Structure 1
Amino acid sequence: MQALLGCDRTECGLGAFLLLMACVQGAFVEPLQPDTNLLSFSDTPTRLPCHYQVAQDQSVVQVTWNKELPDGSEDPVIMAHFTEGNREFGRYSGRVKFESFTPITENSALLIPATQESDEGIYRCHITTFPNGNFERRILLTVWTLPISSLEPVNLVEGQPYGVVASCRAVGRPLPLLSWDTDLPGHSHNRSNEGGAVSSHYSLHPLRSMNGKKLDCLVGHAGLQEPRRISNNLVVQCEYTTDENGG
């Protein structure tokens, strides 16, 4: 029997004791760990899990979600009380809600229907029970923004000096990575700023033989399975000259 259970009498006895204690005191169904990391994207729904399973002769009196502030204090987000009902606070009013209509007796997950970059931070789900006291889960939410990108070609004429022939720009969080897919003999120069924007400029000496050649911009981002391609073909117009007689 020991071989089938995979534990000796001491280990099995300890496991049974912990299971009994969980049934007596109650326990979190989700998240299981005291600290959890979650990743979400801006303009998408976000779910922060919090489900405390009460034990026999135990009841949840209040559920409170708070967000930690940089100075160490906490900003109240939403609360559910067994007699006073639900309440949203301050700038979160109308932006958040409980997943369940009865967060006191069922799951107390927090929903953010339209996530913003400013929602990034540390959240605490605080469960107040009677008669066993308070229990808490801490969730670190990271918010990414998928890139918004564009490409601007330059009107070229054969014979122009070496210079920029196309510019690619993208804004995202974390910062996107720009590259070029081309066989053209040119060089790229990238720039980025603190606002989450990056640009790449492709330069060469335009020749007639380059007209119609591929010069695609590739936008890479941690939130994309593969780089986003912005298709582009170089356009080099021929330079026509006329003599003094207009011929």
Structure 2
Amino acid sequence: MTPTVVKMTMYLLFMSLIVSFYGPSSLHSFPLTQTAVIALGFSLSRVTDVLRVIGGNVTVVQGGTVILPCKLTDTTEDLNQISWQRDTRRKPQTDNFYTIQKDDAPHFVNGEDNRFKFIGSIKDKNGSLQLSNVTLLDEGIYRCIFTLFPSGNHKTEMHLNVLVPPVISVTDNQPILGNEEVSLATCTAAGSKPPAEIKWVTDAVTEKVKVQTNSTEEADGTTTTVSSLIGVPTREINHTVQCVVTSPALSKQETLLFIIQVYYQQSLAMRLHIISPSDDSPEAALFVGHYLSFCSSLSLVLLQLCGTVIGKHQGYKRISAALQVPKSTVASIILKWKKFGTTRTLPRPGRPAKLSNRGTN
């Protein structure tokens, strides 16, 4: 029963009492009727005007826990029931899903969802719910309804806003040495709500690159932001840059380091002339073949070192002077390949050494 219906019912009851005591002619007595109506209206207005249902919009990060607040104040009427409705992404039509009755335990309506927990109290006229493990599908409008006697139903609405943190990654676009602009690297912030913001910190190559950023709204309401670093792939552009991502769904900004690497287009054998025409022994061919496989994934700078070292017939001293690296480094790379068939850092045998705290204060 709504407050308006209750008022009309009480008004008619009040007028019938006047007629029974004073007769039908009393309705024509303007001062008496007017006084009665004013008194009745004042008493009824105090019931509904002072009463308040307190709620409030809430925001939570996906996967977190949130409290849906709902409290009734300034009334002495009897509370018979508290009920909850929702209109969400999961259920866009009004869904009655939870009821707390005066003389019964709280229970779900239209299916259980144990992520919801009643944390209020009928006695305190507090209908608050706690929702854990929130997903984007929980976002929407929630209604808390108090059923009182005799004034009827009183409700409040609140909006649950769900933030979704982005999945962040940086992709090496493997630019080939050349003189035309290409995409050097791409930073992606996928599936974010609201859209994430991407910035590049380029420092030493700021004048050599530019940024192109695009955003795409996904079907689930999230947004994927893609930012590419554009520049001419030259030898001088090999530097460390940073992709910085900010979003209200992140507790702090996320920073990913990336080293711009420019690659050769032609095969290593043709580009570096590392295979000597006079050295066609099976051992040399095998050695060069394995090293070419390893070197093909390296950046331009490391490629030069790797390729030159393969040409071991040139001599350690000559390679060292040409690349301006210690002769011991050149020798170490070649010897490691001969012994282990790889140039990667090998794990040391035994248990890692125990670190000491001495000298850290």
Please tell me the TM-score bracket, short chain as reference. 0.7 to 0.9
| 8 Å CA contact 1:54, 1:60 repeated in 2 | no
Q: For the structure 1 residues 128 and 160, does the alpha-carbon distance in structure 2 shift closer, same or farther, using more than 3 Å as the test?
A: same
Q: Which residue of 2 aligns with 1:75?
A: 95
Match 1:192 to one of 215, 218, 224: 215
| AA aligned opposite 2:119 | E
Q: Which residue of 2 aligns with 1:117?
A: 136
SS at match of 1:175: coil
Q: For the structure 1 residues 112 and 225, does the alpha-carbon distance in structure 2 shift closer, same or farther, using more than 3 Å as the test?
A: closer
* 2: CA distance, partners of 1:114 / 1:74: 22
Q: Kindly state the Cα deviation for residue 131 of structure 1 after the two structures are TM-superposed.
A: 2.8
Q: Which residue of 2 aligns with 1:48?
A: 68
| AA aligned opposite 1:145 | V
Q: For the structure 1 residues 78 and 243, does the alpha-carbon distance in structure 2 shift closer, same or farther, using more than 3 Å as the test?
A: closer
RMSD across aligned positions (CA): 3.3
| AA aligned opposite 1:190 | T
**1:131 and 2:150 correspond:** yes
| 8 Å CA contact 2:88, 2:137 repeated in 1 | no
Q: Name which of structure 1's ranges 148-157 and 37-46 shifts more when overlaid on structure 2.
A: 148-157
Q: Which residue of 2 aligns with 1:242?
A: 273
* 2: CA distance, partners of 1:227 / 1:139: 29
Q: Kindly state the Cα deviation for residue 241 of structure 1 after the two structures are TM-superposed.
A: 1.5
Q: For the structure 1 residues 22 and 203, does the alpha-carbon distance in structure 2 shift closer, same or farther, using more than 3 Å as the test?
A: same
| AA aligned opposite 1:96 | F
| 8 Å CA contact 1:64, 1:125 repeated in 2 | yes
How does 1:81-92 map onto structure 2 within 5 Å?
81-90=101-110
Q: Which residue of 1 aligns with 2:229?
A: 202
Q: Name which of structure 1's ranges 237-246 and 192-201 shifts more when overlaid on structure 2.
A: 237-246
Q: Which has the higher contact order (CA 8 A, sep 6+)?
A: 1
| 8 Å CA contact 1:88, 1:96 repeated in 2 | no
Q: Kindly state the Cα deviation for residue 151 of structure 1 after the two structures are TM-superposed.
A: 1.1
Query: Which of the two has higher C-alpha Rg?
Result: 2
- Describe the superposition over 1:76-131 as per-residue Cα deviations: whole angstroms up to 9, x where unpaired: 1211112332112346621212123xx32232112111111111111110001123
Q: Kindly state the Cα deviation for residue 158 of structure 1 after the two structures are TM-superposed.
A: 4.5
Q: Which residue of 1 aligns with 2:36?
A: none
* 1: CA distance, partners of 2:152 / 2:275: 98
Match 1:214 to one of 240, 243, 246: 240
Q: Kindly state the Cα deviation for residue 24 of structure 1 after the two structures are TM-superposed.
A: 10
Q: Which residue of 1 aligns with 2:182?
A: 163
Q: For the structure 1 residues 27 and 203, does the alpha-carbon distance in structure 2 shift closer, same or farther, using more than 3 Å as the test?
A: closer
Match 1:59 to one of 78, 98, 102: 78
Q: Which residue of 2 aligns with 1:182?
A: 202
Which residues of structure 1 form unaligned runs of 5+? Answer: 1-16
| 8 Å CA contact 1:162, 1:205 repeated in 2 | yes
SS at match of 2:137: helix
Aligned length: 221
Q: Percent identity?
A: 22
| 8 Å CA contact 2:175, 2:183 repeated in 1 | no
**1:104 and 2:130 correspond:** no
* 1: CA distance, partners of 2:248 / 2:143: 27
